[in-house]
Chains A and B, each alone.
Chain A
């Protein structure tokens, strides 16, 4: 260990872990760019009524499939609707799908993983075999099947994606619990008579959160692609409500006449997903002391 790294350790030792992680995160340009783009899209989605140049549902038969111009920066679609306006409003569906479906997955998976890892034995075996069964079905195929049986709309698509992501978080949480449950501080908490619930929530959960947060950030990227995929297939957001996936679906019918219709929604999905991936990778490096 060099003198510099020893200095770094001694400085780190007195700080809160979250501050250390934040300091490491802001040293990573990729993660910062990712964070900035994610914030940009969130602001855009929230401010959609203020910044959208047109009503995203307003059709104009005189402006059908018009290429980008000063009037319509990103062109118009097959019904004369402004592509930029639909893109801005479509950010809401994508971000909501990302956040809601991952929240559903976390709400189900984290308690299951905590219980499974902490109790072990038959309960653990039962939960893990159920997780294995869900993992055996490819993520998107499971989401398609669930969305198909539940009915095609954005809410059901978010439920389907959330359920399909549950096994990954359950397995991750369980693994983390297994790695800390025999630590001295857990044994000490048990020895002084803390009830299981308190040990799980106050002592284990805070110490297993870091990898779950990293995985959640990366899972949001996966959920955004999955929502776009389901909407592209017609199983997510239903027309005429705007969504990047359904915009791409419509665009695929007019590739030779109006290529711009396919360009912008795809670019928006790619940029947002890339940003979440950059942020997730940065968080993983910042929260993992071995990577420094």
Chain B
């Protein structure tokens, strides 16, 4: 890494890591570049806390700003390399002044700059797609490419399963009891036909156009792929992440109780406990919107009708747990990898610095008391947990690529 003390200091801005919103916190991006490990991405805005106006030109675009060259600006939020509190923020286009980003990271960010709608904020889904695109090109190695191909295939299967589960639930909710044969015995075509008939009936009952109701149903099915529904829940991505978080919590809790003199990793005991506590809090927060979605889906008919006036109703709800869990999948994978390699202490030091900070916005989402997220954050904040392991950049890139090969 070149000297960052003089000219480059203009490119970097140190900030306390106290985001008000999830957009300000940014999306965890699976960077493979050593210096960018654990960094987040967000669109450049003029909001307080954003980098600066140095390269911002013209009026913000829906709150987001473009650079002098007219391209959408993207900021990288890098965890404090010392492992202590605070983050460094820099423009993606300035990263080259600090390090040489890997081909994978260049392709991922280029996808976000050039192939996403600059009017929309970056979301975890967008970043996952961009990263997957880079991995599919083989830029993080063949194992990561294979993992990306598998993820694409699984997602397609998941989409079919989710749509089928939704149709089955719709029929159960709308058809008279005893209608035969029951939904789970129907072929794909029969289920589709009876499902469409049910949607037509709903449209008629609520005085809506059939294509509107059908369109909302399709959108709902697409949105639900990530969290799954009915029988498709067990194989969905987000419940898998939450399970991994629960497993991490269960593995870390005992380490947090190791007393002095009993183990070489005693110094990490406090970190283990804090990470476990943070994982637990994130899980319990993520399941709240999931429960809300389940509740809504007990009457798909009502939900479809509500979506006529609030088209993003279900999407907004689905995005909440995704934002809450954002960053945890990587933490879980780092731990899994470290357990396999016997490097627990190093992993604890690293992931403690990566525990996602909860923004104030979450209090509004979940109806929490004002100041409760700040309290959780202060309980879990790493205090001077130094992470400067003797790992070369080369090894760190290899490790990060290994994580890409584990990506869900």
User: A and B from one assembly?
Assistant: no
